[in-house]
Amino acid sequence: MGGMSKLAWWQTAVFYQVYPRSFADGNGDGIGDFSGMTAKLDYLQSLGVDALWLSPHFPSPMWDCGYDISDFEAVAPEYGTLADFRRFLDGAHARGMRVILDLALNHTSDEHAWFVESKSSRDNPKANWYVWSDPSPISGVRNGGGREGVGAEPNNWQSCFDGPAWTYAPERGQYYYHYFMKQQPDLNWENPEVKAAMWKAVRFWLDLGVDGFRLDALGTIFERAGRPNHPVPMTLAELRRFGENANTDEEKKLAAKYWYEMFMYQWGRPHNLMKELRGILDEYPGDRMLVGEDDDVSYHGNGSDELNMVFNFPLMRTDRITPNWVRRNQKERLAALAKVSPQAWPCNTLGNHDCSRIYTRYGDGLHNAELARLNAALILTLRGTPFLYNGEEIGMTDLLLLDPSQLRDTMATWYYHALVSDLKTAPGEAARRAAGMTRDKNRTPMQWSGEPNGGFCPARVQPWLPVNPDYARGVNVQAQEDDPGSLLNFYRRLLRVRKETPALAEGDTLPVHPRAEEYLAFLRATEKQSVLIVLNYSGQSLALDFARAVRGKTLRTLFSSAGRAGSAERPSRLHLAPYEVYLAEVTA
């Protein structure tokens, strides 16, 4: 089939997100750790992924599941030691897998030594390391004003998690700003000392050999000068409830408009910072890389001076993946990237730790298993670098935690109490809403076997989050290992085909039958190879004619979810089974 071209490793790789707290418990305390993750490296290698994205592993008080970092150059004690991290990193590299880390540049924990110093007085050497403001004499809009006797918040900005974005510190007689929780104060990136300290942390991990970073929430690093009030006539809790209750298109559009307007002055584009960071990575050998938690293609810079990739989040923003939805997304996305630079590389995903699991989100309740396979094939065959989320390869689903005491996501517990206390919602209804919006539902422990707790931790131990009980019904690795028809082995076979087929990693995209409603068809083509991909999103058997698309050539089957006996197919009458995934090399 020919070898791969000279693309960088991150362009041909399949990434797999590992959520450390939920992946594998090696020491039996109910929390995932580096010992457990290292023990599962052989599994990840056998799955066929090429790179691991590690969600935050730093010391943290865990107000925001590790994104409130108290030390950027250490390992959380519950996860292990720096030596344990090195063993994990070396083990991944020895198996041919790269490792990138999650990097939150916007903020620290309020327990970070930097913030403790900054909060202590206005004269401290780190006094200007965070975003501070004097109280306002004018009450903020719908924020309820400030603390009694100290003045109002500087403006009416909201935290995107839990109410006002300003918290008063009596030690300084000032408010500090936090886009996220009050336990996550924003760093002042206008201060060169902050920049130097953060770049030092970046170099610390690069010196250890990590292969790059996924940049968290980079659009929140800078705020609008002058800090104007937002115009939305609601608090955050009211807006969340309004969005949940929106039924008509007009109401949904208004909710989206309000959400944008509530935070529009709190977002910025730190292009100069990204150029500096890219410069640091380019000093290191091995094509170190950056991927941003953003969908703004302008972060590619000129194609080689800012981020290597940003996520194609627009692909995810639907309740149902359809052929027309994908075609429209790909047309818009690839055109936008090409406009930036010929070097701007796509990056696709349908799931991560912040959103509902693929199996749940895009299922129809009747054909979830078939749709999960189609959507996996979609991500692994579209042009660009695919990102998978741990557990999707076995069909893990959302777990609704209707008992608020089981929630660990502080955003959800705040919302529950805001619904009950401020908005006078009945506790049962508030619990249902909190269970639906919490990120806990898609962060439950990885299900390794049919043993108690899904094999994540010992039976006698309570895991940090409940394990989804469907582990006992075959949604686990062990049950699917030796089943050739399992979702796990579907992923393995498809990943193997992708690795062996250069056009699937590097080929251009050519739409085929662009008006088809029931199926998505396209070619991935290089100078040396063309592959036809057909994804039947319907429950009907189809007989299709691709003779013109392949210019009279024949099809050699590379992959089929329908168990085709033969390898050669006539393109003029290709029969597809309901919900079939079909890949074929176009041959002379």
- Quickly tell me which residue has 């700003």 as its tokens: 177
Strands 347-349 and 385-389: parallel
What tokens appear for 258 in the block? 């309000």
Torsion angle, CA of 381/382/387/393, rounded to 10 degrees?
Answer: -40
**Letter for the amino acid at 16?**
Y
- In sequence order, the β-bridge partners of residue 310 are 292
- Give the burial class of 191: count Cβ atoms within 10 A of its Cβ; 0-12 exposed, 13-18 middle, 19 or more buried: middle
Q: What is the Cβ-side half-sphere exposure of residue 551, based on CA atoms within 13 angstroms?
A: 6
Sequence-separated (6 or more) residues with CB below 8 Å from residue 287: 8, 9, 10
User: Whose CA is closest to 221, among 293, 285, 115?
Assistant: 293
Distances in whole angstroms, Cα of residue 476 to Cα of each of 230, 319, 391, 452, 454: 47, 26, 9, 12, 7
Q: DSSP 3-state helix, strand, coil percentages of the chain (rounded to 5)? A: 35, 15, 45
Task: Give dist(CA 349, CA 111) in Å, integer.
Answer: 33
Whole-angstrom distance, CA of residue 178 vs CA of residue 133: 12
Q: Note the helical H segments in 104-164.
A: 113-120
Q: Apex CA 313: angle with CA 23 and CA 109, to 5°?
A: 55
Q: Which two tokens stand for residue 104?
A: 């939150």
- Structure token digits, residue 313: 């989040």
On whether the CB atoms of residues 297 and 332 are closer than 8 A, the answer is no
* Identity of the amino acid at 290: L
Distance CA 506, CA 13 (A): 11
Per DSSP, the three-state class of 506 is helix
CA distance 537 to 253: 28
SS3 of residue 42 by DSSP:
helix
Judge contact between 183 and 110, C-beta under 8 A: yes
β-pair partners for 52: 16, 99
Torsion 273-275-278-280 (CA) sign: negative
Q: Strands 568-569 and 554-560, how do they pair?
A: antiparallel
Q: How many residues does the chain have?
A: 588
Between CA 447 and CA 470 the distance in angstroms is 9
Hey, is 130 helix, strand or coil?
strand
Which amino acids are annotated catalytic? 216, 293
Maximum Cα–Cα distance across the chain: 82
Are residues 79 and 20 in contact, defined by beta-carbon separation less than 8 angstroms?
A: yes
